Amino acid sequence: MTHSVLATRRLYGGRALPTLGGDVWEHMVIDARAVIARDAAMEGFMDVAVLSHDSFASALAALLARKLGDRVMPEARLLDIVRAAMADDPLIVRSAIADLIAVVTRDPAADSCLTPFLYFKGYLSLQWHRIGHWLWKYGRHDLARFLQSRVSEAFAVDIHPAVPVGNGVFIDHATGLVVGETAVIGNDVSILQGVTLGGTGKEHGDRHPKVRDGVLLAAGATVLGNIEIGRRAKVGAGSVVLKDVPPRATVAGIPAKIIGWCQDATVPALMMDQSLPSPEYHI
């Protein structure tokens, strides 16, 4: 769990935001029972998704398998893949918990840990990416590419399985997100819908952006080429970034230019403030 995630705890539902795996699971069980109390029609779903499991990892593995399972790649086979990845690399589950806390911390629509866990495709697609990345590192490229394709079909999120992604990452709404093969995404990054981390053409080799810790990529931002978005930078909505962005810079426009600077203590990804400095910037 990263320090910045822990430092941005808030209250939800009259309770402190959970910070550890056990806490998250306990809160999810409580919330699942509360859902059933409010609407009995949800009992079967809550039982399958949460109450029939004994841990966060078990519930997450089953949920991910159900989301992508089909006739060609059955749910049971996907479940075996997810469980194997989690058993081999415990960081997958720890990162999933950090990502979930990031969602609840940064998204006012997340009224509990249970809501994004069950329903937010940005969160679910990121957890599938972590499984695909595990496969990629072990040389199982064909299966990793298959899962990338299925995730794209199911969630409208296309992240190449080679891409390393840090902890505490929040993908909001997620529709239309594209991340190329040699991109890098750091810790505590927030990415909104319609973002592209792409190349500038058909060149080979290291050709995609490197997004460092604490960066906010606002809705519709396009970042192209082997460039770096420095720590705690902010990229304005609809911008096209073609050059390196220094740490703590705010950039906007087509092509993007520096229009301001974030304060030393400010982490744009945690603030989730997509506004731009005054005076207003005009393209």
Q: What is the pLDDT of residues 62-112, one digit of tens each?
A: 999 999 999 999 999 999 999 999 999 999 999 999 999 999 999 999 999
* Structure-block tokens of residue 55: 């841990």
**Stated length of the chain:** 283
Which of 6-10, 88-92, 146-150, 241-245 has the lowest average pLDDT? 6-10
183-200 confidence digits (pLDDT tens)? 999 999 999 999 999 999
- Would you tell me how many other CB atoms lie within 10 Å of the CB of residue 164? 12
> Please, are residues 116 and 104 in contact by the beta-carbon 8 Å criterion?
yes
In the numeric block, the tokens 């005009």 are attached to 282
Q: Where are the domains of the chain?
A: 1-156, 176-283
Q: Which of 115, 111, 109, 101 is nearest to 42 (CA)?
A: 115
What's the pLDDT at 263? Answer: 87
Rounded to an integer, what distance in angstroms lies between the CA atom of residue 247 and that of residue 133? 27
110-139 confidence digits (pLDDT tens)? 999 999 999 999 999 999 999 999 999 999
Residue 153's alpha-carbon distances to 44, 103, 173, 191, 205, in angstroms, are 26, 23, 15, 19, 27
Rounded to an integer, what distance in angstroms lies between the CA atom of residue 122 and that of residue 109? 13
> Please, are residues 228 and 208 in contact by the beta-carbon 8 Å criterion?
no
What's the pLDDT at 104? Answer: 96
What's the pLDDT at 280? Answer: 53
Provide the CATH number for the domain formed by 1-156 in this structure: 1.10.3130.10
- Band (pLDDT 50/70/90 cuts) for residue 33 is very high
Q: Which of 176, 50, 73 is nearest to 131 (CA)?
A: 73
What's the pLDDT at 279? Answer: 54
Give every CB contact of residue 157 below 8 A, 6+ residues apart in sequence. Answer: 121, 122, 125, 126, 129, 151, 171, 174, 175, 177
Looking at domain 176-283, does it have CATH number 2.160.10.10? yes
* Structure-block tokens of residue 208: 């995609």
What's the pLDDT at 19? Answer: 53
